[in-house]
Amino acid sequence: MKVCGVELKGNDAVITLLNFEFGLFDLPDCRVRKLSINDADSVEQLRDFQFTFAKLMQDYKIDRVVIRKRAHKGKFAGGAVGFKLEAAIQLVEGVQVDLMSPTDVKDQLKHTPLPVNFKGTGLKQFQENAFTTGYAYLCRNDKAAE
């Protein structure tokens, strides 16, 4: 199963690709680490973002996208731009999207700790939350066994 873990931060969608086959995790190379928009009020930029994201998922044959959920209100609430990006991703034709809360990710990592230290993955530090979200999703409810 190929999964794309996504963390939305400001005007950016930070992504990490994960693959689970034959009982082994793999981190395929990806041509981008994050997708950004400059003007969230521009319909054209949102369409371009959505098209670019969809093309990326198609090119890498991603089975599922997992977005790290953000609070709607309160101290750690996500911004309006992030919710626009989330909607654009959720509306990509032919892509299955799930949301996973940070609490669920943390609980899953307690049950199935990372097999390697994050620094050993070769990913950039800003990709850590996207990576752990994708990893937790694959491990949740024995998804990795599918």
**Domain of 92, in residue numbers:** 2-145
pLDDT band at 73 (very low <50, low <70, confident <90, very high): confident
Mean pLDDT over 82-93 rounds to 94
Mean pLDDT over 105-116 rounds to 91
Mean predicted lDDT score pLDDT of the chain = 90
User: Which helix (DSSP H) or strand (DSSP E) does residue 48 occupy?
Assistant: helix 43-59
Residue 24 has pLDDT above 70, yes or no: yes
Q: How far apart are CA 22 and CA 145, in angstroms?
A: 9
CB-based contacts of 70, cutoff 8 Å, min separation 6: 8, 76, 77, 78, 82, 83
Q: How far apart are CA 84 and CA 55, in angstroms?
A: 18
Structure tokens at 40: 């969230």
Number of domains in the chain: 1
Q: How far apart are CA 47 and CA 52, in angstroms?
A: 8
Residue 143 has pLDDT above 50, yes or no: no
Q: Is the dihedral angle over the CA atoms 63, 99, 12, 37 positive or is it negative?
A: positive
> What is the model's pLDDT at position 142?
54
CATH number assigned to the domain comprising residue 132: 3.30.420.10
Q: How far apart are CA 38 and CA 85, in angstroms?
A: 12
pTM metric for this prediction: 0.90
Flag the least confident range among 24-28, 35-39, 95-99, 140-144: 140-144
